[in-house]
Chain A
């Protein structure tokens, strides 16, 4: 049984693994971008996790209210989280009261350790604790493998407040609306809508440029995208891609890819193409428009096949 508390690689464990503690020289970070009044994004890079990028591969950021700050996704490593925390400190002295985790993936949650002592409540989807417990130890080991010593100290924080459906936060004259979704990108996706600027933080329900990763439900993801279209938003902050993009247009390429995946997989099933061959045969042309397609497209086809085989 996995421990209930999310795993965290301690300094001692790092030493036991024979990791040298001094950090590998990381690449200089991109500066924080204010995409709308009081909405700040620290853009991630479209790469796999490495010591050089500190697993700063997802978009993270914060929303600034008159009284408090809400951080959305603390980043992929302790160092990434520290970078985000420094970015908050450079903008305001107001306290970080809320740490929102859009889902359990390591590039979004492993930086939470940098916020451990700031007193913020940790908010996530009702299914987030189980997902963190199930995948946390493995994700940490993979992070250590990708980043070496730079991974030491990274880890998620256990959620202290869960969202079953909706939750409204008040940052001081600024309302932030959280919505929990049925299985889509993962089974614990949470979106964050800043009402004042009509900015929708999608977490990984929206990918731009970087190929999406399907883990929850393909049909569910298409349904959730339909639901997000109805949200009163003018811009989206995607989990991966530019810091902000015009909503709804921002979802068009993703929707096209997911539809190609769905239709191509159904056609492969009808033709009797096996699950071992399907990754090389389904929606291959559509996948080429995306960065890192070679690393994720096959997985996406496998997940789609598994979901649609018995529909």
Chain B
């Protein structure tokens, strides 16, 4: 199945790059003084929404959609976030968009459900370049858009160096980890699953310590996750996703199936991991 979404992503981003709102990235404009910044942030979100979702109206999500993030990040280059849908809303949601509004490329990820309820509880790790609103927008199968927001204090995450040695990270590229902290799934018992791809996921905004030139952007742009042969979800991701892209979701159903992750990066490298989720014990 084709995972190529690059052209579409580029189309989403191109008009954003053309707007003067997007000042040069980095630390220089990291600090906004709140609440004087509120009108500018609201305008930015209107522009982003227009670029990502077109003219379709959005509604406040209320209790249907919850976005969790630390008020102040421990590490701007790796900010854990969680997105949860209410039990009532989850079956009808077919996609969730995540933005980091002040980042150079604000659209961080799009999650697409392969089956109803697949997006009920998601986690990701993002880069935050400046104090910013995050937005999550849930798209329902009947075309409604439900939005929610969260403000995060962090700065410099897009240009921060990767952890450790880039060469070692490149050699590790494509290794995958899968974590089942509560054990394998069971019928009617959804369990959290976390998958991670070792990949430097360079943003294009980091600087090589030796040459002092910027490191080209190399990042995971798509993941497809299946269980027992059926698609669970697809994720389109951008440079606002932190190094070693790590995503969480929930899974229920019979144990013993094979969980399979296929990841593609922007250089068209393909990485694959699979695990048999054995019965508990």
Contacts and interface: CB of A to CB of B under 8 A. Distances in A.
A307 B248 CA distance: 20
B27 interface: yes
Nearest to B160: A134
B30 A130 contact: no
A306 B27 contact: no
Contacts of B207: 1, 130, 134
Majority SS of interface residues in chain B?
Answer: loop
A33 to B, nearest CB: 35
Nearest to B155: A138
Nearest to A279: B74
Contact of B209 (A130, A142, A306): A130
Contacts of A275: 78, 80, 125, 246
Contacts of B30: 138, 141
B62 interface: no
Contact of A274 (B80, B163, B180): B80
Q: How many of chain A's residues touch chain B, expressed as a range?
A: 20 to 34
Interface stretch (A49-57, A194-202, A297-305): A297-305
A43 B198 CA distance: 44
Question: Considering residues B27, B31, B207, which has the most beta carbons from chain A within 10 angstroms of its beta carbon?
Answer: B27
B205 to A, nearest CB: 10
Nearest to A307: B163
A100 B123 CA distance: 44
A145 B153 CA distance: 14
Contact of A302 (B75, B179, B196): B75
Interface in B162-185: 163-164, 169, 172, 175, 177, 179-181
A299 B159 CA distance: 18
A298 B74 CA distance: 7
A6 to B, nearest CB: 13
20 contacts: A1-B26, A2-B26, A130-B209, A134-B27, A138-B155, A142-B31, A145-B31, A217-B164, A272-B180, A272-B181, A274-B181, A275-B78, A275-B246, A276-B82, A276-B123, A279-B74, A301-B74, A309-B244, A310-B172, A310-B177
Given A274-B248, A276-B82, 12 more contacts: A1-B214, A2-B28, A135-B156, A138-B30, A141-B31, A217-B164, A274-B123, A274-B194, A275-B80, A298-B74, A306-B75, A310-B198
Closest 6 A-B residue pairs measured CB to CB?
A272-B181, A276-B80, A302-B74, A138-B27, A272-B179, A299-B74
